Every structure is written in C-alpha cells, then in structure tokens.
C-alpha cells in the first residue's frame, strides 16, 4: 500500500494504517517529509499532556486511570510511552503495557510504545511525530509517558503543554527529589500510592519546595495525592490539568512556546537527516579507523572536515562528487 | 590566559586550569577543536567506569566509597556526574555533591558535575570531553555517574567500558526493573542498602534475569550486595570491575567498541557544530514564524531546505552567500 493510501485510510479511522505510518516514522524512508507534511496539515492541535517520574511510581496506572476518565467524558485518547528499552532486545513486553492492552479493543484509544534507541534527538523527534500522527488521526487528547528522571524529562518539556510529575511516598528524601531536577519540570505534582506511609509528609515537602521555587510561568504547581490503582484523586488531577491549560491560554509565553516547539521540530528534522547522511558516508569509517590507529584524533579530524566546506558539503550530499 | 597556557598548566597538574578547560568545553569557542585535539593526544586512555541507576539508589555514596578505595590503592580518580538539573536554575547544590566535596581537598581527585541541558547529543558529547580532559590531566580512573533510567543510560553504554547498575531493594517489582531496560546495560549489578528488607530476594531475582538474558558479550553480569554508606561490599565491587576489564581485554569486540566510540565522538563533534550553525541562522527564525502562521509546516519546510543544497550549504556556512 502506498503512503498516500495509508494517509487516506488513517483519515478514515483505520487503526492499522495509523500503526503502519508510525512504523514509517521510525524507518524514515525518503518520502517521510512529504508524508509528515500532510500529517502536520491534518493535525488539529490536540493538547499534549506529559507524565513523568521515576520507575515504580505508577505512571502507567495514572495514565490508565486518566484514559478511563477521559473516555467516560467521550474524549478520544492517544498515548505515547517512551520506553527506555534495550538497544539489543528492542523492547521487552512490559507488565504495565500489558495492563494497558485493556484499552486495545477500544477504538477511541491508541497506545504506542517507542524505544529510546537512536541518538541525536531521535527519541524526541520520534515522540513529536507519533504525537502528531495521533493528533492527525483525530485524538482529542495526547498523553506522553516518559520513564526516568534524565534527559528524557527535559525533552518532554518542549513537547508537552502540561507536565505531570508522578512520585511515590518512598521516592526518597527530598534532596533526592530536588536532585532529579523535577521541580521546574512539573506543572503538577502527584504523590501516588497515597495510602502508603509518608505520603502527606512528602506532599507537604513538595508544596514547600514549590513555594520557594522561582516561578517564571506565574503558575503555582499544585501537589495532589492519588491512589491511581483505586482510581482515587484522578478527577482532581484532570481538573488541575484543565486549570493549567486555562492558565496557559491567557499567557503570552504560550505563543513563544509554540514557536520554539516548531523551530525545534524543524531543526531536529534537518539534523536527523544530516546525521543519517554523515553516518552513511563510507569516508566516515575511514576517518574512524585513522583515529583508532592514532594517526588522527577526533577533534583534529573534525576541525579538518569543518574547515573544508566542499568536502563537508560532499559528505552531506550538498554537492556532487568532483 | 590563552588556551595554550591553560593546556600547559593543566599538564603541570594545575586544577584551576583543568576546571577552566572544562568550562571552555561547555562554552564551545571556535578554537575548541584545536584545544581538544591537543587534549586527545595527551590522554593516556584511562578506563571509564559508568555508574547508573534510579535516584535514591545511593549511586553517589557508591562512587564516594569507590573513590576512597581507589585512593587507598594510590590511584588518582576523576569523576563526572551528569546532573539532570533544570534548564532554568542551571543546577542545584546537591546533598550528595556536598558529601563528595570531602574529596575536594585531595589533589588526587577531581569531580565535575554536568547539567543535562542542551540537545542533539550535547550531554554525551560534554561527558566524553570532560572525561577526556580528566584522562589528559593524568587521572588513573574515570568514573561517570548518571541519574535516571532514560536515554542517559543508553548513552553511557557508548562512553563507559564497564557499566555498574545500582539498585535498592525497594526499587519496585522486578517487572519495573526490566522495564527500565537496565538488564542489557549493566555489566555489574549492585543491590545497595543491602541491610534493608528484600535485598536478598531482589539479588536472587536479578541473578535469575541475568541468566535468561541474551549475553552478546559472553559475560555473565555478577549481582553484588553493598551497603555503601558503611563501606560494605565495595572491595568486591571493585574486584568485579577489574574482572570485567580483564574479560574485555581478551575480547575482539573491544576494538569494535573503541572504533565505534571514536566514530561517534567524531560525528557528535561535527553535528554539534552543524546544529550551532543552523540554530544561529537568522532565516531559521523566519521559517519558524512561517510555520507558526500556518503558511508552512515543519516537514514541508524541512523537505524544501533539504532539497535545496545550495541554500542548506549556505545555512551551514559551507559556502558564501551569492
């Protein structure tokens, strides 16, 4: 089936076509730009809600609960889970994912896991693109789950309009939480598994930290308690998300956020292509061997290539070989 | 002081010069390639030991203990901590870091924290370069700490020769651990805070998982118990690290690892420069505005630029304006 057929079928609500387009996004055939350009024009601009936090905090259960709640409000939901799976195994079958499969028979829900393989902004580009496909498919809400507290979360900031940080009472002492650099990332904090010891203390500490944090966005991040497995606190969480969106709608920086997002999206598309071109240049292997032999070092080799525009242009396929 | 003076002083053991060179690496002045080329030639190839795991696992305490142990063996140690700090605050002062400052009066130890700001492989490039500087400074051992279980860990795989994954008994059920995709990343697993409930059970589960994991490297990752705060189990950990190094020394893929590392290092240097050039092109802002206005979408704009080699070459400063 041609990419055009896939696009038409996706617009008609064909989930298999949507899934195959997502696979194309990862495979990156040359026509990807033309395809995604059409996808970008189909998208209606559904809000992106980021859910992040350390492993074991119950993010997937929170997302599962949010999906149920949104469905009860007759909203359709797309979810992207960034799964820091192995570069070898290509992603394990996960307990949480299995639980989420409950939604797989619901035509109003589509969930996609993305491996965090690839480099040079690969995962944030792929996340942006899968979210865009879900948006073009017509989903009302896009949820993005990231595991961990590393770079991924910093990336989500540029992708999600609202970011929820999910923690658990035993997430460790407050210093550890601060350390994770989550304070400025979260628009909303959730202490999940709130029936466990220490939940109230942790929420109080988080509230104190929100108060002393600089708030460039003039938004005081609420700290909520949930027991996602029992469905407790999720309505309040969704209410807080909506409240944050109303806040954003009035803010001048929302346009700056959007412009910055689009600029970044554009730059990442270009850089992903340049990286592919460079990486597939046979001369790169030769340079790597020279570096390995000690005849060159990476910096001298880089400086040499960067100072030779015509050779670099050739590597980047910006001109024909002479 | 000129960069050359800094290099000479660094070679003479001047720590301030080393620190200033690290700052240069982050600031990226045009002469960075020339400087780092000299640094690369000074480096002796000290082994890189990666320490990773979720927040609260006690990684910093493990590193602190390893530093003490290595110092007692009269080895000098450089450490890089990747600190997923905020893009706003630029890095909080951390409890763990403060603890590590104990080493700051020891001339045989140098610790540097790196913020995980920047994109397009910025953090792994910066980590590689700080490690290279520590190597050129003459440190016998380079430790690299990353927080989180996201992309950062996948990145560390390419940087560290040996990767230790530190977990705690309450790190959650085994599925969550698998989920974190840590199995293939770890050359050695440590269950820290081993005096807590569940440590033995967790170690047993990890051992079972190591057994069923595919082992492309023909190395059965040992699972060790430590109580880093009391210094327990650290000698065994260091012994396991040495054993892994002996294993690597005999393996043919070690050269492939090294060639791949050098190739990646080279590619990241080139891409970082191309990203800087693209991002500072005034036309990019104009394109972003066109996209925002809806006159263009990011993919059509990217396809247009990529299909116009002379315009792209101009954006990348590969030719003069015509």
Mind listing the pLDDT tens digit for each residue in B136-194? Answer: 999 999 999 876 554 444 455 567 889 898 888 875 554 454 544 567 778 999 999 89
Q: Which residue of B has its CA nearest to A318?
A: B309
- Count of CB contacts below 8 A, A vs B? 314
Residue A262 in 3-state DSSP?
helix
pLDDT tens profile B116-150: 554 344 667 788 889 999 999 999 999 998 765 54
The angle formed by the CA atoms of residues B287, B292 and B298, to the nearest 5 degrees, is 55
Q: Give the model confidence (pLDDT) of A175-185 as tens digits.
A: 454 544 567 77
From the list A40, A306, A319, the residue facing B270 with the nearest CB is: A306
Considering the domain architecture, whether residues A269 and A233 belong to the same structural domain is answered as no
Residue A320 located in a structural domain: no
Q: Which residues of A touch B184 (CB under 8 A)?
A: 86-89
Same domain, B98 and B194: yes
Q: Are residues A247 and A294 part of one domain? A: no
Q: Is there a single domain that holds both residue A108 and residue A217?
A: yes
Distance from CA of A320 to the nearest CA of B (A): 10
**Domain range spanning residue B10?**
1-31
Residues A95 and A135 in one domain: yes
**Structural domain count, chain A:** 3
B84 and B145 assigned to the same domain: yes
Q: Mean pLDDT of residues grouped by 10 in chain B (322 residues)?
A: 91 94 83 88 92 79 93 95 46 41 78 63 75 96 76 59 85 50 79 89 85 74 93 96 91 77 82 85 88 85 89 84 46
Q: Do B117 and A154 touch (CB under 8 A)?
A: yes
Residue bearing tokens 């609202």: A162
Q: In chain B, which residues have their Cβ closer than 8 Å to the Cβ of A83?
A: 179, 181
Residue A81 forms beta bridges with which residues?
Answer: A113, A145
Question: Could you say which of B54, B179, B297 has the minimum Cβ distance to residue A40?
Answer: B297
CB contact under 8 A, A120 and B124: no
Identify whether residues B295 and B177 lie together within a single domain: no
Same domain, A98 and A179: yes
Yes or no, beta carbons of B266 and A298 under 8 Å apart: yes
Is the residue at A157 inside a domain?
Answer: yes
Residue A237 within a domain: yes
Considering only residues A317 and A237, tell me which one the structure prediction assigns the higher pLDDT: A237
> What stretches of B43-121 show up as alpha helix (H) in DSSP?
59-72, 95-100
Mutate which: A39, A84, A172, vs B, most B CBs within 10 A: A84
| In-domain check, residue A322 | no
Cα distance between residue B207 and residue B229, in whole Å: 23
| Domain membership flag for residue B322 | no
On whether residue B184 sits in a domain, the answer given is yes
DSSP assignments along B99-159, one per residue: HHGGGGG-TTEEEEEEE---STTHHHHHHHHHHHHHHHHT-SEEEEEE-BSSHHHHHHHHH
Residue B36, in any domain of the structure: no
Are B163 and B230 within one domain? yes
**Closest residue by Cα to residue A153 from A173, A183, A133, A132:** A183
On whether residue B37 sits in a domain, the answer given is no
Which residues in chain A are closer than 8 Å to B301, comparing Cβ atoms? Answer: 266
Q: Does B292 sit within 8 Å of A275, measured CB to CB?
A: no
Assess whether A5 and A98 both reside in one domain.
no
Is the entire prediction scored with pTM above 0.80? no
Do B176 and A94 meet the contact criterion of CB atoms below 8 Å apart?
no
Q: What angle do CA B82, A130, A1 make, to 5 degrees?
A: 140
Asked if B24 and B62 sit in the same domain, the reply is no
Strand order of the β-sheet with B77-83 is: B109-115, B77-83, B141-146, B48-52, B162-167, B188-191, B223-225
Domain termination site, one of B254, B272, B292? B254
Are residues B205 and B81 part of one domain?
yes
């Amino acid at each position: 089936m041609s990419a055009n057929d896939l696009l038409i079928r996706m617009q008609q609500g064909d989930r298999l076509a949507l899934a195959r387009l997502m696979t194309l996004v990862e495979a990156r055939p040359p026509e990807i730009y033309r395809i995604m350009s059409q996808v970008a024009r189909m998208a209606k601009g559904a809000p992106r809600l980021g859910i992040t936090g350390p492993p074991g905090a119950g993010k997937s259960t929170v997302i599962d609960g949010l999906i149920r709640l949104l469905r009860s409000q007759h909203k359709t939901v797309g979810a992207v889970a960034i799964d820091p799976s192995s570069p070898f195994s290509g992603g394990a079958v996960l307990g949480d994912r299995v639980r989420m499969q409950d939604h797989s028979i619901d035509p109003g829900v589509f969930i996609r896991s993305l491996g965090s393989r690839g480099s040079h902004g690969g995962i944030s580009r792929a996340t942006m693109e899968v979210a865009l496909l879900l948006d073009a498919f017509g989903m009302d809400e896009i949820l993005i789950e990231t595991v961990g507290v590393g770079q991924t979360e910093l990336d989500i900031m540029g992708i999600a309009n609202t970011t929820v940080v999910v923690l658990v009472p035993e997430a460790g002492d407050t210093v550890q939480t601060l350390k994770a650099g989550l304070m400025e990332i979260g628009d909303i904090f959730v202490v999940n598994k709130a029936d466990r010891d220490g939940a109230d203390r942790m929420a109080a500490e988080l509230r104190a930290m929100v108060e002393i944090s600089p708030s460039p966005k003039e938004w005081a991040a609420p700290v909520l308690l949930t027991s996602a497995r029992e469905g407790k606190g999720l309505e309040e969480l969704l209410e807080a998300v909506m409240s944050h969106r109303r806040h954003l709608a009035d803010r001048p920086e929302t346009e700056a956020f959007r412009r910055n997002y689009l600029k970044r999206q554009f730059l990442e598309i270009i850089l992903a292509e340049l990286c592919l071109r460079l990486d597939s240049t046979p001369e790169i292997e030769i340079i790597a061997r020279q570096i390995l032999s000690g005849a060159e070092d990476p910096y001298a080799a880089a400086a040499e290539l960067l100072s030779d525009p015509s050779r670099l242009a050739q590597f980047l396929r910006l001109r024909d070989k002479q």
